[in-house]
Each structure stands twice: as structure tokens, then as C-alpha cells.
């Protein structure tokens, strides 16, 4: 088996597992459904196309920089009625199953939660042929990738390449992807949390998706296990032998 690694970093990320329209919360790390959606988009698959082959890949994520949760509060309304006429006082919001809300419920208050200043390494393990197809798609995606929500583009290239080895082996060997500022202040190595698919795992995640169809999305749970890996800090070597001398500039 081989493993394809992805760098997921950007100003904002939002990885929802259980969500309602009024409160779209985020998990503290990328979800399997979110990463599968990113890969499906890169391949150019429509929302109603099968994704069983992508969900069958073993999935894992490493938390390189946890980030912080921020909240965005706003209201949603419509300036148009059900016939498309401009009607600020009688605007009606559509609903997913068809039809429109009544005027009393067409002004909705909502909360959206995001992760800011976060960096993750996600990885999928499977057959090389499928991973090569995914790697090529990430280099030239049909639909642009986003980090959980369309308003969250990645800050740089997502693809970290394919490596031989299992999920845990690759997640333990990929270079630490935290920001330069974080790496400059860290020690020679860091201990990072890793979460991987495990049928006998001791935790449950509700992010196993079987359909992205907007009319009938379908999710179920999967079992996971948490591990910790020690990764060297690539910026630590640059500090070796550096001695700060506050009086050096005063010497003749």
C-alpha cells in the first residue's frame, strides 16, 4: 500500500460533522467527508456521482497547528418573492426540498464557526493507481479545492505527494508543516496528535458520507483511533551554534 499526503492550511477552515442551518459548527480537525469532498471536486465528480471508491480509502489526519475557533454571526433573508419579483418586505427563502419558507420564517439568524491559523496533514491510503489519479487531479483540479466550505480556500498547494508505507508511517514521516513563526519558537522536535481510521478504534466520528447529493445527503459513523508521533523541527538546525551576544555591537 501507498499513501497520499495533503497539506490543509489557510486563513479559515471549517470541517462540519453534525450541523444545522442555524449553527454550522466545525470539528477541531478535518473530517473524512470534507477531505473526500475535496478529492471528488478535484476529480470533477458531480455531487450525485458515486464516491464509494474514495470512502474506501483509509483516512488519517495529523494536527500540525491546532488553530483557534472563531464565530461568525449573520442574518439571511431574501429581497425577492417566490415569483422572482423584487419585494424587500415579502421576500421568501427557498428550501432544499423545494418550495419556499413563509415570510415570517424567511429572515434567519445563523452562526458559522471556523478554525483560524490551523495547519493539518491529511492522508489517504490505498491502491497506487487511484492515488496517482488523485495526485494528478490535485495538481490540475476540475473544481477548485476548499477547506470544508467554499469560503475557505487553501493558502498554498495541497498535494504533498505519494509515499510508500502505511497511513501511520507516512503521517509520522512527513515534515512538520506548521507556520515558520511556530517552528522558530519550537524545540528540536514536536509531538503531534494523529487520528486514523480503525474499525476497532475507541472513538467514533460521524463523518462517513455515502452521498453528497444536495437533495438527500447521507452520513454515518466510523471508528477512529488516536496516536501521537514525534516529528523533528526542520527549523531547529538553523539555530544550532547561534549565540546571542547583546554586547557584541559595542565591541571595538
Report yes or no: 123 and 60 within 8 Å, Cβ to Cβ: yes
Domain boundaries, the chain: 2-68+115-238
Please enumerate in sequence order all residues whose Cβ is within 8 A of that of 43, keeping only pairs 6 or more positions apart, or say none: 133, 134, 137, 142
Q: Quick check: pTM over 0.85?
A: no
Over the stretch 119-144, which tens digit does the pLDDT of each residue have? 999 999 999 999 999 999 999 999 99
Over the stretch 41-70, which tens digit does the pLDDT of each residue have? 999 999 989 999 999 999 999 999 999 999
The pLDDT of residue 150 is above 80: yes
Q: List the single range of 112-116, 157-161, 213-217 with lowest mean pLDDT.
A: 213-217
Q: All 3 cell numbers of residue 242?
A: 547561534
Handedness of CA 128, 130, 132, 138 (dihedral sign): negative
User: Which has the closest alpha carbon to 35: 13, 18, 20?
Assistant: 13
Angle between helices 128-139 and 32-43 (to 10 degrees): 70
Helices in the chain by DSSP H: which ranges?
32-43, 52-55, 128-139, 167-171, 180-184
Please tell me whether residue 139 adopts helix, strand or coil conformation.
helix
Largest Cα–Cα separation, the chain: 84
**Mean pLDDT to the nearest integer, 151-167:** 95
User: Which has the closest alpha carbon to 134: 210, 62, 51, 63?
Assistant: 51
> According to the model, what pLDDT value does residue 219 have?
81
The pLDDT of residue 111 is above 80: yes
CA distance 75 to 71: 13
What CATH number was assigned to the domain covering residues 2-68+115-238?
3.30.70.2660
SS3 readout for 23-35: EECCCCCCCHHHH
User: Which has the closest alpha carbon to 11: 92, 83, 65?
Assistant: 65
The pLDDT of residue 245 is above 90: no
> According to the model, what pLDDT value does residue 94 have?
74
The pLDDT of residue 205 is above 70: yes
Q: What phi and psi values does residue 84 have, to the nearest 5 degrees?
A: 80, 15
DSSP for 71-123 reads: EEEEEE--SB-TTS-B-TTS---B-TTSSB--GGGSSEEEEEEEEEEEEEEEE
> b/e per residue, 187-196, with b = 16+ CB within 10 A?
eeebebebbb
Amino acid at each position: 500500500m501507498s499513501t497520499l499526503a495533503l497539506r490543509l492550511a489557510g486563513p479559515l477552515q471549517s470541517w462540519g460533522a453534525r450541523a444545522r442551518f442555524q449553527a454550522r459548527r466545525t470539528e477541531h480537525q478535518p473530517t473524512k467527508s470534507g477531505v473526500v469532498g475535496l478529492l471528488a471536486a478535484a476529480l470533477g465528480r458531480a455531487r450525485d456521482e458515486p464516491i464509494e471508491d474514495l470512502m474506501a480509502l483509509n483516512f488519517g489526519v495529523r494536527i500540525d497547528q491546532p488553530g483557534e475557533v472563531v464565530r461568525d454571526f449573520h442574518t439571511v433573508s431574501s429581497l425577492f418573492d417566490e415569483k422572482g419579483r423584487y419585494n424587500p418586505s415579502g421576500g421568501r427563502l427557498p428550501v432544499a426540498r423545494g418550495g419556499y419558507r413563509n415570510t415570517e420564517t424567511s429572515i434567519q439568524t445563523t452562526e458559522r464557526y471556523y478554525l483560524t491559523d490551523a495547519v493539518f496533514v491529511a492522508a489517504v491510503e490505498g491502491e497506487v493507481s487511484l492515488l496517482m489519479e488523485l495526485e494528478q487531479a490535485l495538481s490540475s483540479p476540475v473544481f477548485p479545492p476548499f477547506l470544508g466550505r467554499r469560503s475557505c480556500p487553501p493558502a498554498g498547494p495541497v498535494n504533498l505527494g505519494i509515499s510508500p508505507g502505511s497511513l501511520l508511517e507516512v503521517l509520522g514521516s512527513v515534515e512538520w508543516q506548521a507556520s515558520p513563526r511556530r517552528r522558530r519558537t519550537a524545540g528540536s522536535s514536536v509531538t503531534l496528535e494523529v487520528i486514523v481510521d480503525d474499525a476497532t478504534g475507541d472513538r467514533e466520528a460521524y463523518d462517513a458520507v455515502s452521498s453528497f447529493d444536495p437533495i438527500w445527503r447521507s452520513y454515518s459513523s466510523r471508528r477512529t483511533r488516536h496516536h501521537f508521533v514525534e516529528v523533528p523541527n526542520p527549523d531547529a538546525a538553523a539555530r544550532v551554534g547561534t549565540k546571542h551576544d547583546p554586547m557584541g555591537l559595542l565591541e571595538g
